[in-house]
């Protein structure tokens, strides 16, 4: 038994070799020792769950982070090359090599499962391997485009070690097959242990994958392929909707603040109502955290609360007014004269995602005392009567907790996939497939998200859009950007819509300073101002066609010349 455990540990940790497809010879030692029981498969599959996105790879700088987009930047990282479009060729890239090492692990489980006597015992873990193989391949497609399809754990002598990459369309089809197979093998989410993937999670990821690639192809001229994939995306999202297993988090006791507290739910008191994680039926698949067993391990509250997450005017201006109209069309928009003017009569999410001037805020180090907002509570606050005087002037509060907990030990979960995304996937997939969407489809998807904490806001409908001169695509994209802010979607959305070339080179603007109260409150603003009086926080951004994909690392090109570099990165 001790020998078996030793080999299993070696198998899990592995060694780093030169080629991303190289065989770890230690795996050979373990293959005959760990595949004899259902529990062996479960233990082996456990490692897959450490591969998902988390706060460290989404809220902080990473390939999918909003900090590499047009709506958010890291005030501590003014020279981020990816955001500025000036990144260059790399010698190595862990995003590339780690994906293939992980794919190899899934293939190990799948290969050994073929010889297991009682297949029904391990069906769930076969489904998990298929799900995570798809998850890894989707990341490769998003970052690098074409990828080598590997269906077995390779030996160093296998010819597949030197083949060319498969076209991205082949890879996407492979991912779709894996996810459909995973959905058929995984139990329902309600039947699996907390934190494990269920069948609805596979359908949900399929809706994400097919929407991504469907729009990627559509906006690059392949309407037929795009329509096919968008149909798959809509059907997959509808599978989740029709399961009726999930719902948006909107407990009446929390009122308009429900969405804010969803993101910081813990199994101790972390909100005024004392709700804990089991009250949240919105997270379909999450990275589980706990203050004692698995803390977030990042400086998440300090990072997120009125600190280095600088928000763009572009994003702040996307929030609708309470009449359902954008600020340029609404009579409710109060302008910019006062520091809180533009927050008045807006979508309630602006107040509970961004930090509204004159509001009060608590943190892990200066926490809530009784959650009432009374004098005792305010005396403990981290910020009272906020008056922005740094950065872009727009501040963040999403992901910042309000309870007393040591820094790095917050224990809320990270939503890898949540129901709101699936609803928005459905609406967009239907619209882009048909170039139209019915009011009924809007009502079972986008409008649920839009009106979650905006009960008085008119629903989006074809009549409302026509009457007010709104573009349906713009409104669908607006809703997605607002709802999924700071969750690692924006830069990938710009890429698939093929609008990054327009959006990314624009100046990153802050608040309107000239002629407003900010001239007094933020008197030391040293940034230049544009002709409309907005702070220019960052300029001279670039974006060319090559930036839609990352370059392949040179070490892999040397090992396998058949890979070929991505377009535009050849020199």
Q: Mean per-residue pLDDT for 382-394?
A: 98
Letter string b/e over residues 275-300, b meaning 16 or more CB atoms within 10 A of that residue's CB:
bebebbebbbbbbbbbbeeebbebbb
Count the neighbouring beta carbons within 10 Å of the beta carbon of residue 458. 16
Give the Å distances, CA to CA, from 330 to 326, 334, 466, 528.
6, 9, 15, 29
Instruction: Evaluate whether 520 touches 535 at the Cβ level (below 8 Å).
Output: no
Amino acid 160: pLDDT: 82
Q: Mean per-residue pLDDT for 357-385?
A: 97
Instruction: Evaluate whether 503 touches 494 at the Cβ level (below 8 Å).
Output: yes
Please report which helix (H) or strand (E) contains residue 512, including its range: strand 508-512
What is the tens place of the pLDDT at every residue in 206-232?
999 999 999 999 999 999 999 999 999
Is the pLDDT at 322 greater than 80, yes or no? Answer: yes
- Domain ranges for the chain: 2-43+89-243
- If one compares 6 and 538, the residue with the highest pLDDT of the two is 538
Could you say which DSSP state residue 548 is in? G
What is the tens place of the pLDDT at every residue in 473-524?
999 999 999 999 999 999 999 999 999 999 999 999 999 999 999 999 999 9
Amino acid 161: pLDDT: 78
Q: Mean per-residue pLDDT for 85-96?
A: 96
Amino acid 2: pLDDT: 39
Q: Mean per-residue pLDDT for 299-312?
A: 97
Min mean pLDDT across 144-158, 275-289, 348-362 is at 144-158
Amino acid 373: pLDDT: 94
Instruction: Evaluate whether 264 touches 412 at the Cβ level (below 8 Å).
Output: yes
- Please name the fold of domain 2-43+89-243: 1.25.40
> φ and ψ at 483, to 5 degrees?
-70, -35
Average pLDDT of the residues of the chain: 94
Is the pLDDT at 8 greater than 60, yes or no? Answer: no
What is the tens place of the pLDDT at every residue in 17-64?
334 444 343 444 345 568 999 999 999 999 999 999 999 999 999 999
Amino acid 532: pLDDT: 98
How many percent of the chain have pLDDT more than 90? 91
Q: What is the DSSP code string of 2-62?
A: HHHHHHHHHHHH----SSTT---THHHHHTTTS-SSHHHHHHHHHGGGGSS--HHHHTSSS
Is the pLDDT at 529 greater than 60, yes or no? Answer: yes
């Amino acid at each position: 038994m001790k020998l078996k455990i030793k080999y299993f540990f070696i198998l899990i940790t592995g060694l780093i070799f030169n080629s991303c497809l190289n065989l770890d010879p230690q795996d050979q030692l373990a293959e005959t020792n760990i595949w004899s029981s259902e529990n062996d498969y479960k233990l082996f599959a456990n490692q897959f769950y450490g591969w998902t996105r988390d706060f460290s790879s989404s809220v902080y700088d990473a390939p999918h982070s909003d900090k590499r987009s047009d709506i958010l930047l890291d005030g501590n990282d003014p020279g981020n090359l990816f955001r500025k479009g000036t990144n260059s060729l790399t010698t190595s890239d862990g995003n590339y090599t780690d994906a293939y090492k992980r794919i190899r692990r899934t293939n190990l489980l799948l290969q050994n499962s073929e010889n297991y006597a009682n297949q029904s015992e391990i069906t769930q873990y076969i489904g998990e391997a298929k799900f995570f193989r798809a998850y890894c391949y989707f990341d490769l497609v998003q970052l690098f485009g074409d990828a080598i399809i590997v269906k077995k754990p390779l030996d160093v002598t296998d010819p597949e070690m030197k083949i060319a990459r498969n076209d991205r369309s082949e890879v996407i089809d492979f991912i779709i097959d894996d996810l459909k197979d995973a959905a058929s093998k995984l139990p329902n989410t309600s039947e699996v242990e907390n934190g494990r993937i269920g069948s609805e999670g596979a359908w949900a990821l399929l809706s994400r994958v097919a929407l991504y690639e469907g729009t990627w192809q559509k906006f690059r001229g392949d309407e037929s392929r795009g329509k096919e994939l968008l149909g798959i995306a809509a059907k997959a999202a509808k599978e989740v909707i029709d399961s009726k297993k999930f719902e948006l988090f909107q407990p009446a006791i929390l009122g308009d603040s429900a969405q804010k507290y969803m993101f910081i739910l813990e199994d101790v008191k972390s909100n005024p109502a004392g709700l804990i994680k089991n009250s949240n039926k919105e997270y379909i698949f999450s990275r589980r955290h706990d203050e004692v067993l698995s803390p977030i391990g990042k400086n998440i509250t300090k990072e997120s609360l009125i600190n280095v997450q600088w928000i763009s005017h572009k994003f702040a201006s996307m929030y609708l007014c309470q009449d359902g109209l954008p600020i340029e069309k609404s009579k409710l928009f109060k302008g910019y004269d006062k520091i809180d003017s533009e927050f008045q009569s807006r979508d309630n999410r602006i107040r509970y995602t961004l930090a509204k001037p004159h509001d009060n805020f608590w943190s892990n180090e200066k926490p809530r005392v009784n959650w009432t907002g009374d004098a005792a509570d305010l005396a403990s606050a981290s910020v009272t009567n906020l008056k922005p005087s740094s950065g872009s002037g727009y501040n963040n509060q999403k992901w910042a907790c309000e309870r007393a907990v040591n820094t790095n030990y917050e224990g809320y979960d990270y939503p890898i996939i949540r129901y709101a995304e699936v609803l928005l996937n459905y609406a967009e997939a239907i619209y882009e497939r048909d170039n139209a969407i019915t009011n009924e489809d809007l009502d079972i998807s986008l409008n649920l998200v839009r009106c979650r904490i905006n009960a008085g806001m008119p629903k989006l409908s074809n009549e409302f859009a026509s009457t007010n001169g709104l573009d349906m695509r713009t409104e669908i994209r607006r809703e997605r950007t607002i709802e999924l802010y700071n969750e690692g979607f924006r830069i990938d959305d710009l890429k698939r819509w093929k609008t990054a070339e327009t959006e990314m080179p624009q100046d990153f603007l802050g608040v309107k300073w000239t002629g407003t109260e900010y001239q007094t409150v933020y008197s030391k603003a040293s940034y230049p101002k544009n002709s409309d009086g907005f702070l220019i926080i960052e300029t001279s951004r670039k974006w060319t066609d090559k930036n839609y994909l990352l370059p392949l690392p040179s070490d892999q090109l040397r090992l396998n010349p058949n890979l070929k570099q991505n377009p535009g990165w050849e020199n």
